[in-house]
Chains A and B, each alone.
Chain A
Amino acid sequence: MVDYDIETETLVYERPDSLTDINTHYCPGCTHGVLHRLIAEVLDEMNLKQKTIGVASVGCSVFSYNYFDFDFVQAPHGRAPALATGIKRVLPERTVFTYQGDGDLASIGMAEIIHAATRGENISVFFVNNTNYGMTGGQMAPTTLPGQKTTSSPNGRDVESQGYPIRVAELISQLDGASYVVRRSLDDPKNIRQAKKAIRTAFEVQQRGLGFSMIELLSICPTNWGMTPVSALHWLEEKMIPYYPLGDYKVHPAIAEIKF
């Protein structure tokens, strides 16, 4: 219940219904929370909460099932796209999405995401890229930038021995089976609004049976980057966006018709 005088005020924004009232365990400033909020807002706007089944993965967002007020299942590390495939194939009328981080999607789960995309599974994937493995204390991820220090690349990522990062949106967009693959960022209000539009588009794609959608979201990790949340935003803008450009990497022609 919100407290305001309807004669003199309008309610501009309140906490979305699709979030539970449980306090999240995420670090202060972690943009996982922003993405949770945006997904909840979109599902509220589309009135899809009761028809949605989320697939939680393993990483900082392992307990995301506690924060969303709809059915959720827990996947082993990397396997969320496979679980989502199983659910969507037997319940095609439900809205099914996965919520995954760098390790889950781009490392241990690389086979599962590529194949879900190539099969054109009618699911939506939200990929949170914060260039490290957060939950386990900040190790190198497939998305860690060259030269970036993490606990398992203490001298900075050495591309000679530790390889180059993977640009996931670009990689997945190559697959004919994928319908909507975009990269957005959660760093500033303008980008967050663009991210929300993309999330809405992804769920519209699913609703209309137009195939596989994936949104890669550049995110901050103040704790493991060793910065304040506000400094972390600057690091994202200066270092991540040049390496992982925002944009639309695959948009099936039918999606251009979607209006909402």
Chain B
Amino acid sequence: MAREMMKGNEAVAEAAIRAGVTGYFGYPITPQTELLEYMARRMPELGRAFVQAESELAAINMVYGAACTGQRVMTSSSSPGVSLMMEGISYISGTELPAVVVDVMRGGPGLGNIAPAQGDYNQIVHGGGHGEYHAIVLAPASVQESVDMMSTAFDLSEKYRSVVVVLTDGSIGQMMEPCEMPAFIPLKTVFPDWATTGAEGRSKRILTSINLDPAAQEVTNFRLMRRWQQIEANEIRYKTYFMDDAKFAVTGFGSCGRLALSAVRAARAEGIPVGLIRPITVSPFPTQLFEDLSKKLDALLVVEMNNGQMLEDVLLATHNQIPVEFYARMGGVVPFPDEVLAEIRRVAKGSLDLSGHPRDRWLKHMAEKNL
């Protein structure tokens, strides 16, 4: 298929449609509203279900209901709306249903603004809903990558009866890039043996997350954990660039991974032996990769658009074996590659003051710039 210029939000919607989504339930919120609007037009064209719900709270519950029937269903929102979905995500996870949620992150906390940010990492990766569940979280860095990710998202959600979050930000949602759409996947005709579709010719099924007896609940909890171990063993995805001869590396996910790549390329042109690690699944996190690399690298520079959330997962993975530096902007401010390049040069120079936590060093460093 030919490449077309598409806005990220719309490309994600079309990709989901081609991946066979039959129910979209959402609510307007900047910077992802175009996804809803695109679905409002396209889903009825194809005879599929679309509802603009009364709130994100309602939307995720419509997803929950539709997911019970075994169909491919999804919603999308942005940070404040995603907070409203946390109850529903916990219930969907506790009921072990497949569902896809797209979070187009924006500046926060609170109402914040509509500019791109990555402040939902902790909420999404470390579970913003109550109880013990893990969502599989995919972080694309371009419109094409988001497009390619949609069928993966649905496949993973069904394979593991899990919520899959596609974690992007306002810039990827809004930017227009050339991308190629995949072919249409035929709609499902066979549904799982747990789906509540009306008990015709079979005995009844119940889908619930209630387990009044703690012993029974624990059985579920262990099952979810062991399933998570399988996901960790099989579904980690990441990309590395210039790592063969790298002495140290930059790491970032989503848009930060992308702009860090520009900085890394510029640094390489200056002869700095730096590489880039870009996690694509931030949940499960590529812990082993970082652990292994910490044995070879002199330092890591974590770049994020938040207050140091993936930073903590990197620190955990590297067991404080190597120096970890941190650079970030928050509140919807997107760092320029130049800023990251300056950090790369600083790390390359060596003789870093490594006392205290990387975040505290960053805060001190930023204070010097009146931030």
Contacts and interface: CB of A to CB of B under 8 A. Distances in A.
The answer to A–B direct touch (Cβ < 8 A) is: yes
Contacts of A255: none
A86 B204 contact: no
A126 interface: no
B66 A79 contact: no
A90 B206 contact: no
Given A85-B51, A115-B54, A74 B66 contact: no
B51 A90 contact: no
A74 B210 contact: yes
Given A69-B204, A74-B95, A91-B69, A86 B197 contact: no
A51 interface: yes
Nearest to B59: A82
A79 B95 contact: no
B66 A87 contact: yes
A-B residue pairs, 8 tightest by C-beta: A86-B65, A83-B65, A86-B66, A82-B61, A74-B208, A86-B62, A89-B49, A79-B61
Interface residues of B, number: 39
A84 interface: yes
Given A53-B198, A73-B207, A90 B53 contact: no
A50 B200 CA distance: 5
A63 B210 CA distance: 9
A75 interface: yes
Nearest to B88: A76
Given A75-B64, A86-B66, A112-B54, A50 B23 contact: no
Contacts of B205: 71
Contacts of A112: 54, 58, 61
A65 interface: yes
A91 B62 CA distance: 13
Nearest to A74: B208
A76 B91 contact: yes
Contact of A86 (B23, B95, B206): B23
Contacts of B64: 75-76, 79, 82-83, 86
A44 B217 CA distance: 34
Given A50-B200, A72-B206, A74-B95, A90 B61 contact: no
